[in-house]
Amino acid sequence: MARPAAVPSTASFRTLRPGRLSYQDGLRLQEELVAARCRGGEDLLILLEHDPVITLGRGSDGDHLLLPVAELVRRGVTVAASNRGGDVTWHGPGQLVGYPIVDLNRRGRDLHRYLCELEEVLIVTLARFGVPGERLPGKTGVWVGGAKIASIGIAVRRWIAWHGFALNLSADLTGFDLIVPCGLHGVRMTSLAGELGRPPEWAAVEEALITAFANILQIDYAGDHE
C-alpha cells in the first residue's frame, strides 16, 4: 500500500479501554470524544467489547435482518441504527471493536486511503499471530481464506473520522447467523480463535493492534487516555 503524506512528527494518539459497553453507551462516548477532538483535543483509539447488538449502517437494507426485530429482542439482541457507513453487522462478546477518532485534516482528507490504512492495521495485527489476512477486490474489510474476519465502517464529522472496525476474536460467531453480514449473501465469517485453534490472549491482540496502528498511520503512541 502506498504510504500517506508525511504526518507531523508531533502527531500522537492515546488509547481508551472502557471494557464492555452497550452500543448506545459506546456511541455516546464517541460523540463526546469527537466533539472534544473538533475543539482541538487529541487523536484516540477506543478499544472495547459490545453487548450483543445488530447495527444498521447508513447503507443498510432491512431485508438483511433474517428475523423480525421483536424476535431478535426476545433473544436478547438489541437492534440499533448507526450513523457509520456500510450495511448490517453484529457486535458482541469476543469481538474486539476499535473506534479510532482521528483528524483527517492532517492526513489529506483522503477517506479511501484511511480505509486502506485501517485494513492494513488489521492485516498486520493478524500476521503477528501467524494468520494471513487479505483484502478482497471491491469489498471493505479483512478476509482469511475467503472468510471475513474483520469489518470496517466509518463516519466523518468536520474531517474527524470515527466509528471504525470490529475484529472477531472468539470462535462463537452465531450472532452473524441472524443477518446477511455487510449485505454479502453467502459470506462465511471466521475468527482469530477459529484460525488459531485456540482462544487468543486479548491483551496481546490489543498491544499488537496498537503497535500496528501507530506504525501504519505514522503517529506516536502516547499511552492510555486519562
Q: Any idea which residues carry the catalytic annotation? A: 182
Tell me the β-bridge partners of 95. 168
Query: Which of these, 24, 17, 46, lies nearest to 34 by C-alpha position?
Result: 46
Q: In the β-sheet with 78-81, what is the strand arrangement from edge to edge? A: 78-81, 53-56, 88-91
Query: Cα separation of 219 and 226, whole Å?
Result: 19
As a whole number of Å, the end-to-end CA separation of the chain is: 34
Alpha helical stretches, state H, 58-186: 69-74, 111-128
